[in-house]
Amino acid sequence: MSQLNYRTINIDALDPESSTNFPMESLLPANLPQAASASDAASAATQVRQMLRGGDPEGALQTVLDTAPLGGDDRAKEVHLATVIDVLQGIRQGEMTRILEGVCSGDGGAERADCLMKYLYKGMSSSASGSGAQSPKKSVSPQATGFSQIQARNLGEGGGGQQMSVLLSWHEKLVEIAGTGSIVRVMTDRRTV
């Protein structure tokens, strides 16, 4: 005898007009680069770390932002996030403004600024889970909304605290240069990092 609890049926999933069935891929622009794999991200990471060791933090930051796997899979994105955070942590506080001005100017500078802002928010949303095992993902809404950038917020206690303060000081400097428009675009842009 089957017992069906009608209260637990997700009626939105059955309604083609429902907003939960909105095709999110329709928000991706046609010029999205080819999907990058995790090994692509790893080779980019080696290159970037070399530049960082060679004393070229500006070049390292520029390269890591230009090679962001906007069309990549989750694994590639995770590897690349770790590289970006390494670069950000490898730059001294006193040099941040000078380097940011260099990276966010010139051809494609505005896109790099927006891209860095995406990494700052992603870094802040996932900093604690980076050190240990992935904590069980707490979803804000009962159903998956498709907005992958909204994740359970972590207040940065424990190991993530230092990384969080680095990200926050980058955030402050970046807002001075790229403005609030850049923050707004992190929310609208579906080319996630």
Residue 184 is encoded by which pair of tokens? Answer: 């707004």
Instruction: Please pick, from the candidates 31, 46, 134, 141, the single residue that binds other proteins as defined by CB under 8 A.
Output: 31
**CB-CB contact of 120 with 169 (8 Å):** no
Q: Provide the mask over 165-184, with x wherever binding to other proteins is found by CB under 8 A and - wherever it is not.
A: -------------xxxxx-x
Of residues 100-159, which lie at the interface with other proteins (CB under 8 A)?
110, 114
Query: Would you say 19 or 134 has its CB closer to other proteins?
Result: 19
CA 169 to centroid of chain Cα atoms: 17
Determine contact, residues 127/163, Cβ cutoff 8 Å.
yes
Alpha helices in the chain (DSSP H): 11-14, 38-53, 57-66, 74-89, 96-103, 109-126, 160-188
**Least distance in Å: CB of 136 to other proteins?**
30
33 binds other proteins (CB under 8 A): no
Smaller CB separation from other proteins, 29 or 55: 29
With CB under 8 A, what is the number of residues at the site for other proteins? 24
Among candidate residues 121, 118, 137, 130, the one with its CA nearest the CA of residue 70: 118
Nearer to other proteins, 134 or 180 (CB): 180
Q: Which residues make up the interface to other proteins (CB under 8 A)?
A: 17, 19, 22-23, 26-31, 110, 114, 178-182, 184-185, 187-191
